[in-house]
Structure 1
Amino acid sequence: MRDVRAALLAGGLGERMGRLTDDMCKPLVPYAASCRLVDFSVANAARSGIPEVVLLSMHRERDLVHHLATHWDGAGVRVHFGPHDTLVRSGDLPPGAPLPPRPPESGTADALLTNAEYVFGPGVRDVLVQHADHVYTFDYGPMVAAHRDAGADVTIGVQRIERRFVRLFGMVEVDADLRVRRLVEKPAEPTSDLVFTAFCLFRAEVLEKVLGSLAALGEDGWQHDISRDVLPTMIADGRHVLAYPVSGYWADIGTVERYHLEQMRLLERPSPLPPADLPRTLAGGPPRFDADTHCLLGDGVVVPGDAVVRSSVLFPGCVVEPGARIERSVVLPDARVRAGARLADTVTAVGEDLTGPRTGLAGLEPA
């Protein structure tokens, strides 16, 4: 894997996450009572033996850079901070000072173009494009092997899902040899139950060439997006676009509703993401599943005997007071649920003080 470089897309605004991204960038939203969203992709790269991950960030990136430098850089993988790498490593950045602004970007393909000098380079044979808001545990090694054995120009992860949800993703159509014949982003009328998991492995020289040809179309000549431009162009040009089936759990956390829903799925037995397999950047120990309350409890969380807590996910640092009631909810770090508060089917914000009733996600989602 030494000639594979990962490019981590972490520049989205996260507007669909509503109040959860009021005070933090989306990749840093806590997850699974153990870590943050971005940790899954970086952990997968480290687990797979990929030597370097290039961070393609944009919004509120100082906090994201600090998180990755603290928890991941040098821990089985090197994190390259793009144009900020020298400054971050120099120690000359004053505490709390913002990072210099990056060039503006209109989409995911722009992120690759503006960071091309860090993504491409001598010794890089393949570029793995990842997203910082996807939840899954995966070894990319077999995917790299299949990609190279097939001589593919790009290999994309695919997974079968319920047809009714396909319109939320990139729909993929393949032939009997798993060669991709069509990719349609968020189709109005899906014709396949196969979706793009949005991580993909490009031959570096091919990706660089395709990006250059698209950029030559001018600012208004394309949509600046990997799923809407780069991959469809490669398919239309007859390049070898291979699908790699992804079994096991994978989730794209795009909205408050999905954020809540997918964490409720962690309470299933067996869990789709066993607590012992989760990255741990919020606390030293893994979360524990309490069978009596059917809850996932972060390291150090204490539930008073006279509080009622059922089918919920409680993060390290949260406080539940005696007399509180929490059902099918997610309580984030440093939130306090006061005596008499009643939570059902909802999510707290980080550090929120809950004193009364809250049911559902109204008020948390974007207006």
Structure 2
Amino acid sequence: MTLPDVRAALLAGGLGERMGRLTETMCKPLVPYAASCRLVDFSVANAVRSGVPEVVLLSMHRERDLIDHLVAHWDGRGTRVNFGPHDELVRTGSLAAGAPLPPRPAESGTADALLNNAEYLFAPGARDVLVQHADHVYVFDYGPMVAAHRAAGADVTIGVQRIERRFVHLFGMVEVDSDLRVRRLVEKPAEPTSDLVFTAFCVFRADVLEEVLTSLAALGEDGWRHDISRDVLPAMIREGRRVLAHPVSGYWADIGTVERYHLEQIRLLDRPFPLPPATLPRTLADVPSRFVPERGSLIGAGVEVPAGAVVRSSLLFPGCVVEPGAEVDRSVVLPGARVRAGARLTDTVAPAGEDVTGLRSGLIDLEPA
């Protein structure tokens, strides 16, 4: 076990409303990705890869489906998934198939999720708490980050990455000094003054995180915004606590909208690969998706492109069907979707189970109403 005294908190409670039709029938963490897995699998795979012994699931929306997925694919495979207040039900087999879960307390933000699960996050055995999100796509070993965090005596160490300045307003902007001490963090700034953004995974000293959350909760329901990026980290910076940045190289993406969902998957087809197919988690099939150079496409296990079909620069997921005479260009075809003969998809997504006929170009039909 590489990180025996680190416990992860996996934030997976968002509604995913900006994902439009893609989250009509499933929670956002379970949206399929990269013709190989689901969004949540990246963060869990990173925890397993890094030797984190326990991940505490912080979920709310359609969480029974999410729990079933994690039990089937991840729990006990090097890392234990703690299902919080539902853990005993899950492990004793007391939860009947399809039965609803007991309701959780309402949450107004990510910090509320930490507070509502404090008894599991701050239980004995963890020196540090690693906060993750269930909708971020990256392949990472947290070991060096935790080592740097401890060597520097940091209260919290946050991942940071440089991006194009024009996109900074979509993220948490970070300003650091020459020693990588964080001097300022502003969520979605109107006028960015830095090209450094918070990757939204970070390592807290467990005792410090508990103390800061307790002091913020004492402000009352309306005294703060209940958010890690807007409240917890800025409060620590103001108080002079040791908040350090850890540069993150390589591919990282926050999948927050239908547009990002489509764009970032098409980017996976670039050469060299941002994330090589062999590095992707595999939960949709037992074998990896394959890149087909003559089509410039990533094609999932069991999918065959028939003669007479045209597929260019696209992702075809396991379980989808493309009929002879169909055309798929710079598009994402999800499990169970069927692209009929004569149909044409361009720069779009075919949702899971959809029967596609006619022409579709762009994402407007998938966007939130």
TM-score of the aligned structures, taking structure 2 as reference length: 0.99
Structure 1 residue 37: deviation in Å? 0.2
**Equivalent residue for 1:151, pick from 146, 150, 153:** 153
Partners of 1:122 and 1:257 in 2: CA distance: 42
2:33 aligned partner, one-letter code = Y
Which among 313, 316, 326 is matched to residue 314 of structure 1? 316
| CA offset digits 1:40-62 (Å, max 9, x no partner) | 00000000000000000000000
Residue aligning to 1:288: 290
Aligned residue identity for 2:138 = Y
Question: How do 1:74-153 and structure 2 match up within 5 A?
Answer: 74-153=76-155
One-letter code aligned to 2:210: E
Instruction: Give the counterpart letter for 2:304 in structure 1.
Output: V
Partner of 1:44: 46
- State the distance in 2 between where 1:113 and 1:48 align: 25
SS in 2 for 1:39: helix
In 2: Cα distance, 1:250 partner to 1:54 partner: 22
Question: Who is 2:306 aligned against?
Answer: 304
Residue matched to 2:59: 57
Which residue of structure 2 aligns with residue 279 of structure 1? 281
Counterpart position of 1:333: 335
* Equivalent-residue separation in structure 2 for 1:114 and 1:292 (angstroms): 51
- Give 1:309's aligned amino acid: V
Q: Distance in 2 between matches of 1:334 and 1:287?
A: 16
1:257 equivalent to 2:259? Answer yes
* TM superposition shift of 1:305: 1.1
Work out the number of aligned pairs and report it: 367
Structure 1's consecutive aligned runs of 4 or more residues displaced over 4 angstroms after TM superposition are: none
1:67 is matched with 69
Percent identical among aligned pairs is: 81
What residue number does 1:227 align with? 229
Q: Distance in 2 between matches of 1:298 and 1:227?
A: 36
Shift of 1:76: 1.2
Structure 2 Cα separation of the partners of residues 235 and 344 of structure 1: 46
Residues in 1 aligned to 2:101 and 2:301: alpha-carbon distance in whole angstroms: 33
1:257-301 deviations in Å (ceiling 9; x for gaps): 000000000110111000000000000110100000101000111
Give me the whole-angstrom Cα distance separating, in 1, the residues matched to 2:82 and 2:262. Answer: 32
Aligned residue for 1:344? 346
Cα deviation for residue 356 of structure 1 reads 1.1
Is 1:184 equivalent to 2:182 in the alignment?
A: no
CA displacement at 1:24 relative to structure 2? 0.2
Range with bigger deviation, 299-308 or 168-177: 299-308
Residue number among 5, 8, 15 corresponding to 2:7 in the alignment:
5
Q: How far apart in 1 are the matches of 2:193 and 2:242?
A: 22
* Structure 1, unpaired ranges of 5+: none
Deviation of 1:171 after TM superposition, in Å, equals: 0.1
Q: CA deviation at 1:122?
A: 1.1
The residue identity in structure 2 corresponding to 1:292 is: E
Q: How big is the shift at 1:87?
A: 0.2
Structure 2: distance between partners of 1:265 and 1:182:
31
In structure 2, how many angstroms separate the alpha carbons of the residues matched to 1:75 and 1:139?
A: 17
What RMSD, in angstroms, separates the aligned Cα atoms of the two structures? 0.4
2:364 equivalent to 1:354: no
In the superposition, the TM-score normalised over structure 1's length comes to: 1.00
- Once the two structures are superposed, residues 136-158 of structure 1 have per-residue CA deviations (whole angstroms, 9 ceiling, x without a partner) of 00000000000000000000000
Where in structure 2 are there 5+ consecutive unaligned residues? none
Amino acid at match of 1:272: P
1:20 aligned counterpart, secondary structure: helix
- Paired residue for 1:199? 201
